[in-house]
Amino acid sequence: MITFFAISSVITLAWMIVCIYLLINARSIGLLKNISPLPQGNEPSLDIIIAVRNEEADLAQALQSLCHIHYSNYRLVVINDRSTDGTAAILQQFAAQYPHITVYTITSLPQGWLGKNHAMYTGATISQGEWILFTDADVLYQPDAISRAMAYVLQTQTDNLVVFPEIISRSAMFNAINATFRTMLEVKLRPWKARDRQSKAFIGMGAFSLVNRKAYVSSGTHSKIPLRPDDDLKLGEQIKSAGFQQDCLYGDGLLRLEWYTSVQQFINGLMKNMFSAFQYNAWLATANALLVVLIIILPIPVLLLSGWWQLQCMALVILFFQWLAFTFRPAMNAGWWYVFTIPYAGVIMTYIVFRSTWLTLKNKGIYWRDSFYPLDELKKGYHS
């Protein structure tokens, strides 16, 4: 009993420290809406690159928002990566209506590339702007969002700016689970340290990554990470490792994204690349999953059901600090009940890790957007 009490005390103290740590540091990340837009006519040249494959459901709305931004010196480069739905027709319609849209169609995938990585690289090679914005086909922009982001990088001499969009979903349960997922990512990545040149922390995001062309080319481009499913994070890492200045902002109110519409879609979406986060190492994946069980899934239910009032008080302390971290962190927009779903979110994440590992090993590779990528080839891409 003494040992169990000691372990429970350590876990409780750890949760208190982590929550305070998150509250303090997350508030050091600025808000894009607090940045003044660039004056019209002063904008450096910008190419916005979107890779699309079978995106007919969201593409038109996203393109509509990008075609009406308050930024005069830009070109929209859309790479149609072997789409088989109505994507091509939508692109043809927009290209005919808006002369600053360039559409490039990929008909085959070269050996040694993942589809999205190759599409992004293709877009970058045909672009000409001083700045490149990599974004996704389901992100909705307010008209002055990009102008504010460009103003920030010019003012702060930042080479690579990541803006976190406001993630919305019609699924309340996904929103709750995503709050825990975001918390886990922030603890792991420490995005507030990305601007610190002395720190190894970095950040990357497919939804919005604005990068100076010189930094993109000098750091190796996507050709350095052709087989990484986590290409957005790896691009951020290689830019930071090459000595360029990186930073991040919260984009609430200016960028919106419905990432997933349900918990099941979230599970399916992460299944393809979760194993890659552990270097395709089953032991490392298992160890991390067990850590989630110990730290996230078990503490609250075990302490509450222990029958000992001292341990039940520890559970309440953990819940209180979790509530503080969810409620007062910037851009969280968390409901009061989200903290009660943390153990369930841990179960979901553990399931994704184990199933992603098992499926990748069983199939000896991953299926991603109708293409199969062998595990041996993916491992080579990881160590290249």
pLDDT tens-digit readout, 247-280 = 999 999 999 999 999 999 999 999 888 998 898 9
pLDDT band of 382, cuts 50, 70, 90? low
249 lies in the same domain as 289:
no
First to last CA, the chain: 49
277 lies in the same domain as 326:
yes
Computed on alpha carbons and rounded to an integer, the radius of gyration of the chain in Å comes to: 22
92 lies in the same domain as 135:
yes
87 lies in the same domain as 114:
yes
Mean pLDDT (the chain, rounded): 94
347 lies in the same domain as 250:
no
In the chain, the percentage of residues whose pLDDT exceeds 90 is: 89
pLDDT tens-digit readout, 145-162 = 999 999 999 999 999 999
Residue 219 sits in a domain of what CATH number?
3.90.550.10
User: Among the three residues 259, 283, 317, which one is the final residue of a domain in this structure?
Assistant: 259
Is it the case that residue 379 has pLDDT exceeding 90?
Answer: no
254 lies in the same domain as 337:
no
Is it the case that residue 384 has pLDDT exceeding 60?
Answer: no
DSSP secondary structure string for all residues of 95-138: HHH-TTEEEEEE-SPPTT--HHHHHHHHHHHH---SEEEEE-TT
76 lies in the same domain as 178:
yes
Q: Give the pLDDT of residue 40.
A: 82
183 lies in the same domain as 279:
no
Task: Look up residue 376 and give its two tokens.
Answer: 């041996």
313 lies in the same domain as 205:
no
Contact 250, 330 (CB under 8 A): yes
User: How many CB atoms neighbour CB 5 within 10 A?
Assistant: 14
- Measured CA to CA, the distance from residue 85 to residue 35 in angstroms comes to 39
Q: Give the pLDDT of residue 372.
A: 87
61 lies in the same domain as 144:
yes
Residue 207's domain comprises 30-259
Look at the chain and report how many structural domains it folds into. 2
pLDDT, mean of residues 210-234: 95
Q: Give the pLDDT of residue 42.
A: 81
116 lies in the same domain as 183:
yes
User: Among the three residues 211, 240, 259, which one is the final residue of a domain in this structure?
Assistant: 259
pLDDT band of 370, cuts 50, 70, 90? confident
Q: Give the pLDDT of residue 27.
A: 95
pLDDT band of 378, cuts 50, 70, 90? confident
318 lies in the same domain as 341:
yes
Phi, psi (degrees; rounded to nearest 5) at 96: -70, -30
pLDDT, mean of residues 27-43: 93
pLDDT, mean of residues 349-368: 93
User: Among the three residues 203, 237, 259, which one is the final residue of a domain in this structure?
Assistant: 259
Q: Is 331 left (phi over 0), alpha (psi -120 to 50) or beta?
A: left
Is it the case that residue 72 has pLDDT exceeding 60?
Answer: yes
pLDDT tens-digit readout, 97-148 = 999 999 999 999 999 899 999 999 999 999 999 999 999 999 999 999 999 9
User: How many CB atoms neighbour CB 378 within 10 A?
Assistant: 21
